[in-house]
Amino acid sequence: MFEGLKPLPQDPILQLMQTFRDDPRDDKIDLGIGVYKDDSGNTPIMAAVHEAERRLLEQEVTKSYVGPAGSAGFNQAIADLVLGADNALIRDQRVSVVQTPGGCGALRMAAEFLRLCHSDTTVWVSTPTWGNHLPLLGGAGLAIREYPYLDSQTLQVDFDRMMGALEQASAGDVVLLHGCCHNPSGADLTVDQWQQVTDLMLKKGLLPFVDMAYQGLGDGLDADAAGLRHVASRVPEMVVASSCSKNFGLYRERTGALMLIGETADAQKAATSQLLSVIRSHYSMPPAHGAAIVETILGDEGLRSQWQSELNGMCERILHLRHAFAAALAPAGDFGFIARQRGMFSFLGIAPEQVRQLREEFGIYMLDSSRVNVAGLNDQSMPRVAEAVRSVL
């Protein structure tokens, strides 16, 4: 059965992780792996998460299944977090949320659901986009088309080309948008651009599909959701994939959610019943622990305040690193775009051979595309990284 199978090349990010681990140099620096790191280079457990887990350990009385939809309390908390607790869509029962195994689970179940709606569904994805978007969506059988997003020269959103490409989309096509902190570029749409994109989707009958993986790590929880909330307030239907990996630091707990917004409460209920059937046929039910942590934090005023303070601190640290990195690179050219962008990632805009030179000569690791994890820097390592980048330029 297996004898005809050939080994596949390793995922570039996973391969970079292994190469970094194998590097014996003590002063090596990892700017490639997409996790938040503190000043000590660790990916910490938030204090609010520690306290929530302590309470769960004392209070949890069962390990029974949670059901295909997951925890109702978690789902309601995510709806309030993403859309705002006073959102009319929630009051009108046009919103449903199901708990998923991470943001990846939300994306894949959304893809399976969309294929169930229309077997020939086409989804438009930005160029560039997160590397796993294509296999998660395309692997479910969706047709993939790409729209230009980033100007490779200015490393800013190429909005005119983006809109021009989406003008070619057909009614019923799906448009995947990053809610904030675009991965891998860090270049986000402005409020005005979100409004124009919404107008275009309404005019052409397109379905918005927003991936919200970094809420709270750009400009704050509400500011980061402003574009998504504007779209949701105007369109009849919408899909949202949400992740708790970054803003709660729950990477290995695989905690995410998938939201459907229907034109009416009845349409939402019918769509949700179909989605739950899809989930049941794939992984049956999501894991409980990560969602229980989030539900505990968001359901307790003290814990929520502590978590939001910690999250704000992470956000402020990333913004500080962005401004400091742009200033440190300034002698080699205009890197002001790094300070203007948001989230953990930016492209340096250097060539693959220069990226390899940084890795081989200086032990500084990033993807060949020159995408760097800004949160992997700190005030101690930054001068060395900046000097190395200036030297290869």
Residue whose pair of structure tokens reads 């280079």 in the numeric block: 41
* Distance in angstroms (rounded) separating the CA atoms of residues 393 and 391: 5
| Catalytic residue set | 130, 211, 213, 246
How far is residue 179's CA from residue 274's CA, in Å, rounded to a whole number?
Answer: 25
Contacts of 107 (CB under 8 A, 6+ apart): 132, 133, 136, 137, 211, 241
Write the DSSP assignment of 28-74 as a string of letters.
-EE--S-S---TTS--PPPHHHHHHHHHHHHH--------TT--HHH
3-state secondary structure of 186: coil
Judge contact between 179 and 213, C-beta under 8 A.
Answer: yes
Distance of CA 195 to the CA centre of its chain: 21
Please count the CA atoms within 13 angstroms of the CA of 231 that sit on its side-chain side.
30
Q: How far apart are CA 158 and CA 160, in angstroms?
A: 6
Which residue is listed with tokens 């294929």? 115
